[in-house]
Amino acid sequence: MKLIGPFKQIIPMTGLPPKGALADNQLVIVEDGGILIEGDLIKTVGSFDALTKAALPDNTEIIELHGDHTCLPGFVDAHTHICFAGSRANDYALRNSGKTYLEIAKAGGGIWDTVTQTRKASKESLIKGIVKRAKRHLTNGVTTIEVKSGYGLSVHEELKMLYAIKAADALLPVDLIATCLAAHMVPKDFKGSAADYLKQMAEELLPALKVEKLTNRIDAFIEEGAFSPSLIAPYFDKAKALGFDITVHADQFSTGGSQVALKYNALSADHLEASTDVEIGLLAQSPIIATALPGASIGLGCAFAPARKLLDAGGAVAIASDHNPGSAPMGDLLTQAAILGTFEKLSNAEVLAGITTRAAAALKLTDRGQLQSGCLADIGIFHTGDYKEILYNQGNFKPCMVWKKGELVYNKH
Ligand code: NIG
Ligand code: FE
């Protein structure tokens, strides 16, 4: 066993309602606490003093912290595209000189540019890219990362990406949760209609994902220039019939996607920058997690998702980085979550729940996002005595230690 502490504050993120607005005084704060770990799980969260005096096995390792420290559950980044090759610095420059995301995409840049680069890359070089990016996320306190395919756009190339994600997962302490985003756009070299493309993916790719156990999650980009709600229906029908969980890139530039998420009981509807009061009301009344992606708003210079309105209407808001080469190249969840908080007037509790418990719910994971007995010992430790310092520093204040499944995986000390 291992005992870590004392912490000036442990913020276990326990006992919070899964949906709706949260005030900071709803946060449980364990003062002068310790965390007892057995294997990869948390055994006890409680008073450090009491834990040191308890009858612990002789070989218990005590990791004693000096100075003020505060800890939180390891962060969960529930939406990324960190499996890619190449750069879209050129798109970024074009956008900042006045071209829109959709105009650039139509002119041959955008997602297709990354597809071209990613297809040229070997599986090994994709693995290297994922590992490099995931390791940086880990130093920022992120211990679980969802990673989408979607830059392959053929049966073979989508499988290559998903095998790369699986291989990178095996090399990393961070957990990578793969999602198939073959429905990202119709590949420009596909001979046939959008419906034909989705039919081929439904018939050939979806069953292969099951056989190869590559993912249980299917995503689609519902948007002009990508897929309409009616086009996606047969594909999602097939995915549902095979037992996949659904998630949707919804309402990024225009509405339609969140209605698809509702129709298919998606785990999450992500983006939502263009959602109106109608979509906000419907999502808030549903069990769907509304995932805000402030990194895409910052990368594209667009409005943020209406997180405040979603929470006030009773919705569950998660916050993810959307780390991708096009719309969200920064890939710093903590910075982005803090910035979303200032623009959307979110409490500390709402932002922190958005990158812990509510983000874990978006991935249907019940074993993380909270520090309590039986949960994974995924812990981010910050050198402060006051948890409010973390978001106040707007991402400039990173963890000094990160533990994943009971192992120290990052130590700045
Ligand atoms: O979530 N919106 C669609 N997909 C990604 C962007 C991917 C890209 O531009 O490469 C997103 O923003
Ligand atoms: Fe995305």
**CATH code of the domain containing 377:** 2.30.40.10
Distance 132 CA to ligand 2 centre (A): 19
Distance 76 CA to ligand 1 centre (A): 19
- Considering the domain architecture, whether residues 275 and 403 belong to the same structural domain is answered as no
- Considering the domain architecture, whether residues 342 and 390 belong to the same structural domain is answered as no
221 lines ligand 1 (CB under 6 A): yes
- CA–CA distance, 349 with 354 (Å, rounded to integer): 8
Q: How many CA atoms lie within 13 A of 206 on its CB side?
A: 24
Distance 220 CA to ligand 1 centre (A): 11
The pLDDT of residue 101 is 82
Query: How many structural domains compose the chain?
Result: 2
The pLDDT of residue 122 is 98
347 lines ligand 1 (CB under 6 A): no
How high does pLDDT run on average in the chain? Answer: 97
322 lines ligand 1 (CB under 6 A): yes
The pLDDT of residue 345 is 98
What pLDDT, in 10s, does the model give residues 273-321?
A: 999 999 999 999 999 999 999 999 999 999 999 999 999 999 999 999 9
The pLDDT of residue 319 is 99
- CA–CA distance, 298 with 409 (Å, rounded to integer): 30
The pLDDT of residue 193 is 98
What pLDDT, in 10s, does the model give residues 322-339?
A: 999 999 999 999 999 999
Which residue from 7, 10, 44, 36 is spatially nearest to 372, judged by alpha carbons? 44
Bridge-based pairing of strands 401-404 and 407-411 is antiparallel
Q: Which of 322, 323, 330 to mutate to test the pocket of ligand 1 (most atoms within 8 A of CB)?
A: 322
- Considering the domain architecture, whether residues 11 and 136 belong to the same structural domain is answered as no
Tokens of 171: 């090399």
378 lines ligand 1 (CB under 6 A): no
**Which protein residue has the closest C-alpha to ligand 1 atom 3?**
221
The pLDDT of residue 170 is 98
Higher pLDDT, 225 or 296: 296
The radius of gyration of the chain from alpha carbons, rounded to an integer in Å, stands at 21
What pLDDT, in 10s, does the model give residues 37-49?
A: 999 999 999 999 9
Distance 324 CA to ligand 1 centre (A): 7
Residue range(s) defining the domain that contains residue 56: 2-73+370-411
List, as ranges, residues with CB under 5 A of the ion ligand 2. 322
Matching residue, tokens 């326990």: 14
- Considering the domain architecture, whether residues 334 and 210 belong to the same structural domain is answered as yes
pTM above 0.95, yes or no: yes
- CA–CA distance, 154 with 167 (Å, rounded to integer): 20
- CA–CA distance, 308 with 22 (Å, rounded to integer): 11
Predicted confidence (pLDDT) at residue 88 exceeds the cutoff of 90: yes
Matching residue, tokens 């073979």: 156
